[in-house]
């Protein structure tokens, strides 16, 4: 499995050499700036970038451990896979001064989780997929609450989008962002270290052919969600170099539950 590199000193590729997709000018400039900054705060371990389709609509599903995830995974997709990612992000980001303008200028997709308008974001995401764009979503719906930082039980929004869109669904596992930008850290949000490595890996497309032919019942959505979280967890286990856990954090019960019982 290809390893791009894990050294801060190794040069990043030139964006124009590795990414030929058209995108917003602001997005292109931001990517270059973030690549420059990220190089100095951590090394990168990028694997299996070839599993992300180079063109056409693609849905990527990712585990969520830190507010730095969109940057670490975004750079993997932009520089490693040659694709511009359109994330579904909470609407509060789009209302924040400066940050909101930046998100809109980069073609990101707002999600109002607490209202009926949450369905509108899925419509916007489906339109982006039909237009041949790569869309990124966090199936857990929020940053993971598992004390061990494994993917927790997912919500069904990602599954609905996957089943209603006839595009490849690629699981991505990432590890290391929570050490650089720990969730819930008070005060200055970053932890600088010479040892940070942002590890990202893509897996094979998740199989949904049998589910896409069925009505979108609660049971079908839950099964699709299980497949998504299982696939992501398998990729996280690879970059963590640990076995896949047999228990999964349930955010409603606030405890681990045996996976076979779900």
- The full 3-state SS of 33-89, as one line of letters, equals HHHHHHHHHCEEEEECHHHCCCCCCEEEEECCCCCCHHHHHHHHHHHHCCCCEEEEE
61 forms beta bridges with 137, 171
Q: Report the greatest alpha carbon distance in the chain.
A: 52
pLDDT for the residue numbered 262: 54
Which helix (H) or strand (E) element contains residue 135? strand 134-137
What is the chain's pLDDT, residue by residue, as a tens digit (262 residues)? Answer: 555 556 666 788 999 999 999 999 999 999 999 999 999 999 999 999 999 999 999 999 999 999 999 999 999 999 999 999 999 988 899 999 999 999 999 999 998 766 666 667 789 999 999 999 999 999 999 999 999 999 999 999 999 999 999 999 999 999 999 999 999 888 899 999 988 999 999 999 999 999 999 999 999 999 999 999 999 999 999 999 999 999 999 999 999 999 875 5
Spatial distance between the Cα atoms of 3 and 49, rounded to a whole number of angstroms: 9
Residue 184 phi/psi, 5-degree rounding, is: 80, 5
pLDDT for the residue numbered 53: 98
Spatial distance between the Cα atoms of 137 and 121, rounded to a whole number of angstroms: 11
pLDDT for the residue numbered 7: 62
pLDDT for the residue numbered 112: 79
Spatial distance between the Cα atoms of 212 and 87, rounded to a whole number of angstroms: 23
Helices 157-164 and 118-130, axial angle in degrees (round to 10) = 40
pLDDT for the residue numbered 222: 97
Spatial distance between the Cα atoms of 24 and 6, rounded to a whole number of angstroms: 29
pLDDT for the residue numbered 190: 94
pLDDT for the residue numbered 69: 97
Domain ranges, ordered by start, for the chain: 49-88+132-185+197-261
For 151, the 3-state DSSP assignment is coil
The fold adopted by the segment(s) 49-88+132-185+197-261 is Glycerol-3-phosphate (1)-acyltransferase (3.40.1130)
pTM above 0.75, yes or no: yes
């Amino acid at each position: 499995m290809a390893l791009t590199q894990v050294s801060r000193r190794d040069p990043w590729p030139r964006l124009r050499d590795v990414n030929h997709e058209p995108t917003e000018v602001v997005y292109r400039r931001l990517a270059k700036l973030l690549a420059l900054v990220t190089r100095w705060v951590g090394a990168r371990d990028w694997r299996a970038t070839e599993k992300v389709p180079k063109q056409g609509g693609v849905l990527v599903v990712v585990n969520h451990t830190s507010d730095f995830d969109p940057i670490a995974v975004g750079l993997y997709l932009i520089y490693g896979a040659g694709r511009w990612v359109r994330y579904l992000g909470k609407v509060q980001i789009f209302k924040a001064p400066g940050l909101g303008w930046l998100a809109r200028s980069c073609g990101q997709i707002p999600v109002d989780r607490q209202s009926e308008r949450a369905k509108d974001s899925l419509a916007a995401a489906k339109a982006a997929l039909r237009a041949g764009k790569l869309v990124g979503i966090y199936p857990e719906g929020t940053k993971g609450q598992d004390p061990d930082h494994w993917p927790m039980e997912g919500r069904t929004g990602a599954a609905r989008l996957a089943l209603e869109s006839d595009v490849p669904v690629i699981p991505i596992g990432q590890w290391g962002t929570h050490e650089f930008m720990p969730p819930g850290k008070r005060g200055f949000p970053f932890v600088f270290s010479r040892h940070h490595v942002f590890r990202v890996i893509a897996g094979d497309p998740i199989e949904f052919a049998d589910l896409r032919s069925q009505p979108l019942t609660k049971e079908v959505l839950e099964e699709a969600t299980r497949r998504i979280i299982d696939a992501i967890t398998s990729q996280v286990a690879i970059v963590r170099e640990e076995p896949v856990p047999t228990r999964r954090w349930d955010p409603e019960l606030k405890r681990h539950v045996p996976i076979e019982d779900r």
